[in-house]
Amino acid sequence: MNKTTVSKLLLGTLLTVGSQFALAAPDWGKVPKRDIHVFHAGVTPIEWMVKKSDHSGTAGMRKGETCVGCHEEKGTLNFNFKRLANKELEPVGAPKTMIFPVSVQAAYDKENLYMRLTFKPPADAAAGAPREDKDPKHEVKAAVMFMGSKVAQADVMGCWATCHADVRSMPGAAPDKKKYIAGANLAGEVYSDYIQWKSGVGGKGTVQLDGHVAETRVNKDGKALVKAEGENNGGAYTVTFTRKLTGGDGDLALAEGKIVPFGIAIHTDKTVYRFHHVSLGYKLGIGAEGDVKAVKQ
Mean pLDDT score of the chain: 90
Q: Does domain 34-296 have CATH number 2.60.40.1190?
A: yes
Q: What pTM does this model have? A: 0.90
Q: Name which of 214, 170, 212, 197 is nearest 268 in CA terms.
A: 197
Cβ distance 217 to 211 under 8 Å? Answer: yes
Is pLDDT of 130 > 90? Answer: no
| pLDDT of residue 158 exceeding 80 | yes
Instruction: With CA atoms as reference, report the closest residue to 259 among 296, 286, 291.
Output: 286
**Whether pLDDT at 8 is above 50:** no
**Per-residue confidence (pLDDT) for residue 42, from 0 to 100:** 93
Q: Read off the pLDDT of each residue in 114-134 and give the average, rounded to a whole number.
A: 81
Partners of 146 in the β-ladder = 193, 262
The predicted pLDDT at position 127 comes to 65
For the chain, what percent of residues have pLDDT higher than 90? Answer: 76
Q: What's the pLDDT at 15?
A: 45
8-17, 127-136, 185-194, range with the lowest pLDDT: 8-17
Whether pLDDT at 94 is above 90: no
pLDDT score of 9 = 47
Secondary structure string (H, E, C) spanning the chain: CCHHHHHHHHHHHHHHHHHHHHCCCCCHHHCCCEEEEEEECCCCCHHHHCCCCCCCCHHHHHCCCCHHHHHEECCEECCCCHHHHCCCCCCCCCCCCCEEEEEEEEEECCCEEEEEEEECCCCCCCCCCCHHHECCCCCCEEEEEEECCCCCCHHHHHHHHHCCCCCCCCCCCCCCCCCCCCCCECCCCECEEEEEEECCECCECCEEEEEEECCCEECCCCCCEEEEEEEEECCEEEEEEEEECCCCCCCCCCCCCCEEEEEEEEECCCECCCCCEECCCEEEEECCCCCEEEEEC
Q: Where are the domains of the chain?
A: 34-296
Which of residues 120 and 127 earns the better pLDDT score?
Answer: 120
More confident: 64 or 196: 196
Is the confidence at residue 20, as pLDDT, over 90? Answer: no
pLDDT of the residue at 22: 46
pLDDT for residue 269: 87
